Chains A and B, each alone.
Chain A
Amino acid sequence: MDFLSDHQPDMLPGKRQLPAVQGVIEAPHGTTIVAVTFPGGVVLAGDRRATMGNVIAQRDIEKVFPADEYSAVGIAGTAGLAVEMVKLFQLELEHFEKVEGAQLSLEGKANRLSTMIRSNLGMAMQGLAVVPLFAGFDVDRDRGRIFSYDVTGGRSEEHGFAATGSGSIFARGAMKKLYRDDLNEAEATTLVVQALYDAADDDSATGGPDVARRIYPIVTVITDDGFRRLTDEESSEIARSILARRLEQPDGPRAALL
């Protein structure tokens, strides 16, 4: 990135001159991303909807990307800028790894992403914010970790579960009631899809599982084996089983009252 800013500064997202605009720019926005840690790894998942104002801009957008072998980024906010930011982030991690012959630490990756979000502050002030969620497996500490961000690049580590995007309030509420710290991988993937279902239930900008078009949430798992994205069959399996249960209980699983 430093090389890029010396060599071709116009390629960097934060360095562009912004045209003067009146009001809010209409651009596709990504919505809900959720993450959950479990012993041995972390799950990061996102819904598939992008909205532009009150219009659904895209039904099958992909908002969760591998950053490198052991980490992934889920994006909420202005889709175009966020995708570019992720591309640059992936490039930077790979470049560092090749030049130095070693990977950045997970903290180092999280800090780097923080700087990139901060450099986008000017755009964020004009309504083009990017707020990602970063999850990875820390090979030094042997556990999955989640980092959440705000528009100014503020970084905070989340323990257990986290969500970002317009549906995050609802997703967080769902996860709060369902999360346990002894989940296994299958339970954790079910939990994130449940949370996304609840987010889609109450937030119009978040898309639920689309059975007719066979569009299901993107679910990724990062363990010490590295990054793995669940296949369409696997995620449709999870979504369908949740859907079947919700036909009987539309609000999802009940937590104990006391």
Chain B
Amino acid sequence: MSTPFYVSPQQAMADRAEYARKGIARGRSLVVIQYADGIVFVGENPSRALHKFSEIYDRIGFAAAGKYNEYENLRIGGVRYADLRGYTYDRDDVTARGLANVYAQTLGTIFSSAAEKPYEVELVVAEVGDTPEGDQIYRLPHDGSIVDEHGSVAVGGNAELISNYLDQRHQEGMTLAEALKLAVQALSRESNGTQRDIPAERLEVAVLDRTRPQQRKFKRIVGRQLSRLLDADGSATATTDDASDEEPSEEE
């Protein structure tokens, strides 16, 4: 019988973290930015069927970078958690903090369990409040820690570069068009310092808009509405609901 090699716990954890980080870095980056009326999610996503962003509950959105099947699994788990909680208690009792805790537990357990490979995902859970001060953004790295973020956050491949860029330029009270433009500029920066163009059809954009009259604040921005926002000069104020009925949004 062969004796297994001894691997120190530090080394084992470092290897697992390295493995997960490499998996996440292969995925495209995405950013989540606060603006005056809510929170906007922007990412590069060539697929129109596999979403990086989605609705969890009335005020809570979900964004993920990394391996699709793994974060889809977590997303469905989150929707179940939120719906069950909202049905058992009340819709107001579903919070991003609670959800982030559940995700942290799940990711942490998987990360430290020797039987499973760590998930190659990095999540963002965001909740829009009644005022910008009430907004909450949590970043959940692969190891199950929670980072409370303000203003802007980037995850995925060039996350560090992008979040530095965003931190320098993000201001409070930006309009949706301004925030969207900043996000696209940030996403189009390459690690070697060059810029590349991301056409509108490769962008996936969604908002949690606190001004939406409906209870459910999550909305995808697609088609003409997106190109209008990208073309608008920064001073134009844009609401997400104007003329949105013409757009084939997912809810319809």
Flag if B245 contacts A11 (CB, 8 Å). Answer: no
Contacts of B80 in A (CB 8 A): 3, 95
Complex: A213 Cα to B86 Cα, angstroms: 33
**Dominant SS at the B interface?**
helix
Instruction: Verify if A102 is at the interface (C-beta below 8 Å from B).
Output: yes
Complex Cα–Cα for A8 and B89 (A): 14
Sampled A-B contacts (22; CB under 8 Å) = A3-B80, A3-B84, A4-B84, A7-B84, A8-B88, A11-B88, A69-B252, A88-B87, A91-B83, A91-B86, A91-B87, A94-B83, A97-B251, A98-B54, A98-B55, A98-B56, A98-B79, A98-B83, A99-B76, A101-B54, A103-B252, A139-B252
Size of the B side of the interface (Cβ < 8 Å), in residues, is 16
Q: Is A15 an interface residue (CB 8 A)?
A: no
A225 at the B interface (CB under 8 A)? yes
Which residues of A are interface residues toward B (Cβ below 8 A)?
3-4, 7-8, 11, 69, 87-88, 91, 94-95, 97-99, 101-103, 139, 225
Cβ-defined partner of B251 (8 Å) among A99, A103, A225 = A103
> How many angstroms between the C-alpha atoms of A91 and B57 in the bound complex?
11
Complex A-B, nearest 4 residue pairs according to Cβ-Cβ distance, in ascending order = A95-B83, A98-B79, A91-B87, A98-B55
| Contact string against A for B residues 194-229, beta-carbon threshold 8 Å, 1 for contact and 0 otherwise | 000000000000000000000000000000000000
Give the CA-CA distance A103 to B251 in the complex, in Å. Answer: 7
What is the CA–CA distance of A88 and B88 in the complex, to the nearest angstrom? 10
How many Å from the CB of A69 to the closest CB on chain B?
A: 6
Question: Whole-angstrom distance from the CB of B234 to the nearest CB of chain A?
Answer: 31
The distance in angstroms between the C-alpha atoms of A97 and B54, with both chains bound, is 11
Within B5-63, which residues are at the interface with A (CB < 8 Å)?
51, 54-56
**Residue B92 CB within 8 A of the other chain:** no
Residue B116 lies at the interface, judged by CB distance under 8 Å to chain A: no
Are A101 and B51 in touch, CB under 8 angstroms? Answer: yes
Cβ contacts under 8 Å, A8 to chain B? 84, 88
**Complex contacts, B54 vs chain A, CB 8 Å:** 98, 101
The DSSP consensus for interface residues of chain A is helix
Residue B133 interfacial (CB < 8 Å): no
Given contacts A91-B83, A99-B76, 11 further A-B contacts (CB under 8 A): A3-B80, A3-B84, A8-B84, A11-B87, A87-B87, A88-B87, A95-B83, A98-B79, A99-B79, A102-B250, A225-B245
When C-beta atoms are compared, the residue in chain A nearest to B80 turns out to be A3
CB nearest to B79 among chain A residues:
A98
Using CB atoms, name the residue of chain B closest to A92: B83
Nearest CB of A to B92, in Å: 15
Name B60-108 residues within 8 Å CB distance of A.
76, 79-80, 83-84, 86-88
B243 to chain A, nearest CB (A): 13
Cα separation A8 to B81 with both chains bound (whole Å): 12
**Cβ B251 vs Cβ A95 within 8 A:** no
CA distance A101 to B55 in the complex (A): 9
Write the nearest CB–CB distance from A46 to chain B, whole angstroms.
21
| Cβ–Cβ < 8 Å partners of A88 in chain B | 87
Residue of A3, A8, A69, A95 with most partner-chain B CB within 10 A: A95
| Residues of B contacting A99 in the complex (Cβ-Cβ under 8 angstroms) | 76, 79
Q: State the CA gap A69–B56 with chains docked (Å).
A: 17
- Bound: A172/B84 CA distance, A: 39
Q: Which residues of A contact B76 (CB under 8 A)?
A: 99
Shortest Cβ distance from B208 into chain A, in angstroms? 14
Query: Assuming the A-B contacts A11-B87, A91-B87, are A101 and B245 also in contact, with contact meaning beta carbons closer than 8 angstroms in the complex?
Result: no
Q: Are B88 and A95 in contact (CB under 8 A)?
A: no
